[in-house]
Amino acid sequence: AMYTAKERQSGVEVYDAAADGHDRGRLVLLSEFRRGMAEGHLVLHYQPKVSLRTGAVVGLEALVRWEHPTRGLLLPGDFLPAVEQTGLIEPLTDCVLDLALAQVRAWTEQGVAVPVAVNLSARSVHRPDLPARVLSALASHGIPAGMLRLELTESALVAEPARARDVLGRLHSAGVSLSIDDFGTGYSSMGRVKNLPVSEVKIDRSFIAEMATTTEDAALVRSVVDLGHELGLTVVAEGVEDPATAAALAELGCDVGQGYLYAAPMGAAEMTDWLAGRLPAAVTARA
Ligand code: C2E
Ligand code: MG
Ligand code: MG
Ligand code: MG
């Protein structure tokens, strides 16, 4: 717990046990995370992005998990918020890039050329060294930049837009594809997206979940699809869970779906089998 000088002087103990326990829990988590990352306990699960027109797999999204020695498999929500508040988020990004590109390499060698998308935290988008780190990861695995897509949320662009624009511009110039994730939440605006070298928007699953039953959500999805297409963007729907929603999305002209309807995120070995079951025709280079 923290005490202000005044509290100390007055001798009044303002001790917040809950906050203190929380701080300690966070510190333990972060030190375990640091060690877990070094010991190779971060793993990626992959989820397919599927063409709503043809059913072809147009790419995979890599989603980080932490195989915790005692707590089992942890999801990003269990550790990312804490990690994102520290410098550890940059090593995490590098680790995820390394794992994802090594896997792309392995799949390529098995004759499966499937582009992969990696998520970026907001802070990473402001790191001037990010493009060099991404390019060095690509080079070390011998993967062309066009096989990598980076997903970022619009909140990443609000703080220092000029700096983010510079970083994204350099990634785009190098041939890396960029997506806006969770579109429709927070600070979303197509006006902002229009001025960025982005080729894809992903409509947040909160709008997809209820588009079949909620007029406002259906209207939002329709307008993102139409405006996105006018701007030359591929439009992806996240969180597609049932055939009726997939059909409604296809009807609106939405390009790509992702969600439990097609497959939940799965480990690399399972994904290898899943992809093999859809070969030879199903895997294409891009939507
Ligand atoms: P996201 O990028 O929007 O990823 C989609 C999330 O929705 C994933 O949760 C996925 O498992 C889940 N999902 C997929 N299909 C469905 C569906 O049909 N229904 C429902 N209800 N959920 C579905 P996950 O893996 O827990 O990841 C949560 C978030 O953590 C991601 O959201 C992303 O923002 C972040 N994240 C994941 N991996 C990384 C990473 O390597 N680096 C960074 N910086 N962030 C990551
Ligand atoms: Mg994402
Ligand atoms: Mg998303
Ligand atoms: Mg989302």
Structure tokens at 108: 């390529």
Which residues are paired to 149 by β-bridges?
117, 177
Structure tokens at 282: 């199903």
In this prediction, residue 195 carries a pLDDT of 87
Q: Residues lining ligand 1, CB < 6 A?
A: 47, 63-64, 75-77, 80, 96, 119-121, 151, 181-182, 205, 238-239, 241, 259-260, 265
Tell the residue nearest (CA) to atom 10 of ligand 1: 265
2: pLDDT strictly greater than 50: no
In this prediction, residue 3 carries a pLDDT of 44
CA of 268 to the centre of ligand 4 (A): 21
Convert the pLDDT of each residue in 145-182 to its tens digit: 999 999 999 888 888 889 999 999 999 999 999 999 99
Helix (H) or strand (E) holding 235: strand 234-237
Q: Which residues neighbour 111 within 8 Å (Cβ) at sequence distance 6 or greater?
A: none
| C-alpha–C-alpha distance, residues 238 and 257, integer Å | 6
Convert the pLDDT of each residue in 29-75 to its tens digit: 999 999 999 999 999 999 999 999 999 999 999 999 999 999 999 99
CA of 175 to the centre of ligand 2 (A): 19
Convert the pLDDT of each residue in 191-245 to its tens digit: 888 889 999 999 999 999 999 888 998 999 999 999 999 999 999 999 999 999 9
ipTM comes to 0.98
Helix (H) or strand (E) holding 24: helix 17-38
Tell the residue nearest (CA) to atom 15 of ligand 1: 259
Residue 281's pLDDT band (boundaries 50, 70, 90)?
very low
Instruction: Report the residue among 37, 41, 43, 63 best suited for mutation to probe ligand 1: largest number of ligand atoms under 8 A from its CB.
Output: 63
Residue with tokens 């190779």: 40
151 CA: nearest ligand 1 atom:
2
Structure tokens at 197: 């070298």
44 CA: nearest ligand 1 atom:
41
In this prediction, residue 189 carries a pLDDT of 81
Closest CA to 235 of 221, 249, 255, 218: 255
Q: Among all ligands shown, which has an atom nearest to the Cα of 94? A: 1
CA of 115 to the centre of ligand 2 (A): 14
Instruction: Report the residue among 238, 240, 256, 262 best suited for mutation to probe ligand 1: largest number of ligand atoms under 8 A from its CB.
Output: 238
Tell the residue nearest (CA) to atom 28 of ligand 1: 76
